[in-house]
Amino acid sequence: MKSDLYKKIFIATDGSDQNKKAIQHALEFAKMCGAKLYAGYVVDTAAFASIPMDAGWEMMYELLEKEAIEVTTSVGEIAQKENIPFESVILEGHPGSEIVDFADKQGMDLIIMGTLGKRGLDHFLLGSVAENVIRNSRVPVLVVRGRSGEE
């Protein structure tokens, strides 16, 4: 079954165990639709913007960049085994904004991402990347819930 509706699918990855379920959905969706899959990781430079730009900042950035490469490469390896066209994307900035901007500029047909389903004070203080993307995206967003009890 091939679909003309979804030709370019963007999976927003964050390296967490909870995001693995979203990656599985994205791979399956891309395979079923005959779509190209883009796996993206946003190095959240806003999270440590208040830290002076010194060796500690640089080391943190390098660790996040290394994680981004590892995560997107692992998705790419699975995609290759499944004969799914694939591209890795590493972005910098605020995750929600970067995901929306990339999807818009690159003409994505669907964004797939996971969520931890934060509630209460954590949600208020940290916000939700998924919520930000849902509110601001011009393309459909499929949010795959992470742990909320047991999967």
> Considering the domain boundaries, does residue 99 fall inside one?
no
| 150 located within any domain | no
Check: CB of residue 141 under 8 Å from CB of residue 134.
yes
Does residue 122 form part of some domain? yes
Fill in the DSSP letter of residue 48.
G
Q: What residues make up the domain containing 40?
A: 8-94+110-145
As for how many domains the chain has, the answer is 1
Which of the listed ranges 26-30, 47-51, 55-59 does the model predict with the highest average pLDDT?
A: 26-30
Angle at 33 between CA 32 and CA 35, to 5 degrees: 120
The pTM (predicted TM-score) of the whole model is: 0.86
What is the structure's pLDDT at 122?
47
Contact 64, 91 (CB under 8 A): no
- For residue 126, what is the domain's CATH number? 3.40.50.620
pLDDT value at position 19? 86
Residue 1 lies inside a defined structural domain of this protein: no
Residue 101 in any domain: the answer is: no
pLDDT digits (tens, 9 = 90+) for 72-110: 999 999 999 999 999 999 999 999 999 999 999 999 999
Q: How far is CA 127 from the centre of its chain?
A: 16
- Note whether residue 2 is domain-resident: no
Residue 32: the pLDDT is 94
User: What is the share, in percent, of the chain residues with pLDDT greater than 90?
Assistant: 61
